[in-house]
């Protein structure tokens, strides 16, 4: 009885998926011998150095299907957005784009991407780098004016900057924030551009970040504007603030707001489609300069106040500390 059961199981396992052609006599004999050995408790051993039987190369449908499923899953995982996108984000983004159609924000006419716009490509890239290095903690209007002064003095050129003394350079870019330190960094970067890049600027994130005075925000902005190679989102104070107000970003593994621009960048990149990475910076910067301002945002003028979780909450009443000061 036991032998009969084992034989039936073994017979089922040896059934081929290929039913279009009858099995050859030799094949049937080999299988009968194999079953008899198994029933007797013996197992046929493979011999090293002997060419395997053609049956060993037979198309295995089960393995092939399993293999193809695994490949499809890998492709699908690598191509999908890494994190769930916030609810209504497309409506929110569309609303902000509509509000920005006027192009009246300072960034629209005096942002870093406007630096050296009439210069040849190589010279323009250098102008973009210098403008970006000066832009940290400085309003667009101030940075733009400093770039204009450098241009008027023939200093949108690495060789000219290397030859000018640091104090004169600092006075020319003043009142850019931390202008003395930035003058030092700009001279250092200009020398590196001359010695290592033939007067051009670095064309990779790592090489840009190696320049003193260039952080992640600046490096991503330069890559996007100068090299048309967007590798990440440029997050400045406006993008950082607005992304948190909208509930678009969270610290890793939590539902708490991000506390640094770099945290915001990484959180945004997990769900925002890559074709929005480059335009999101000027879009939110302009929105932050005109409507979603740092203090007392103009929620009554905002076209997405019905979708914003903090609408009217930051603009409805003054800061508690300000109340205490006024009452005392």
97 is catalytic: no
C-alpha 70/C-alpha 59 separation (Å) is 18
Tokens of 201: 């600027």
CA dihedral 47, 50, 55, 59 (to 10 degrees): 100
C-alpha 269/C-alpha 83 separation (Å) is 9
Cβ distance 92 to 307 under 8 Å? yes
**From the candidates 110, 182, 187, 217, which is the catalytic residue?**
217
C-alpha 214/C-alpha 206 separation (Å) is 10
Which residues contact residue 151 at a Cβ distance below 8 angstroms, ignoring those fewer than 6 apart? 116, 127
Quick one: angle between helices 179-197 and 166-173, nearest 10?
120
- CA 312, distance to chain mean position in Å, is 31
C-alpha 100/C-alpha 283 separation (Å) is 7
Residues belonging to the active site: 217
């Amino acid at each position: 009885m036991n032998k009969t059961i084992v034989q039936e199981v073994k017979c089922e396992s040896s059934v081929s998926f290929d039913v279009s052609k009858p099995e050859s006599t030799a094949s049937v004999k080999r299988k009968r011998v194999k079953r008899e050995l198994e029933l007797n408790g013996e197992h046929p051993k493979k011999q090293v150095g002997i060419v395997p039987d053609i049956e060993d190369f037979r198309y295995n449908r089960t393995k092939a299907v399993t293999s193809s499923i695994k490949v499809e899953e890998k492709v699908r995982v690598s191509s999908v957005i890494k994190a769930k996108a916030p609810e209504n984000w497309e409506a929110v983004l569309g609303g902000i784009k509509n509000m920005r159609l006027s192009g009246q924000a300072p960034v629209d006419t005096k942002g870093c991407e406007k630096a050296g716009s009439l210069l040849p490509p190589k010279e323009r890239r250098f102008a973009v780098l210098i403008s970006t290095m000066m832009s940290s903690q400085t309003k667009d209007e101030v940075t733009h004016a400093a770039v204009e002064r450098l241009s008027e003095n023939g200093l949108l050129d690495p060789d000219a900057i290397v030859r000018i003394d640091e104090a004169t350079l600092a006075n020319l870019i003043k009142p850019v924030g931390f202008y003395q330190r930035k003058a030092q960094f700009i001279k250092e970067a200009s020398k590196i551009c001359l010695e290592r890049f033939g007067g051009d600027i670095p064309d990779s994130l790592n090489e840009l970040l190696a320049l003193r005075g260039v952080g992640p925000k600046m490096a991503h902005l330069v890559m996007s504007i100068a090299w048309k190679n967007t590798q990440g989102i440029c997050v400045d104070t406006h993008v950082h603030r607005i992304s948190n107000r909208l509930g678009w970003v969270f610290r890793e593994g939590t539902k708490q707001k991000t506390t640094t621009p770099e945290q915001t960048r990484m959180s945004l990149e997990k769900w925002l489609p890559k074709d929005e990475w480059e335009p999101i910076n000027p879009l939110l910067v302009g929105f932050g300069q005109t409507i979603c301002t740092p203090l007392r945002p103009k929620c009554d003028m905002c076209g997405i106040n019905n979708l914003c979780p903090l609408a009217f909450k930051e603009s409805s009443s003054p800061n508690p500390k300000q109340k205490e000061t006024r009452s005392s």
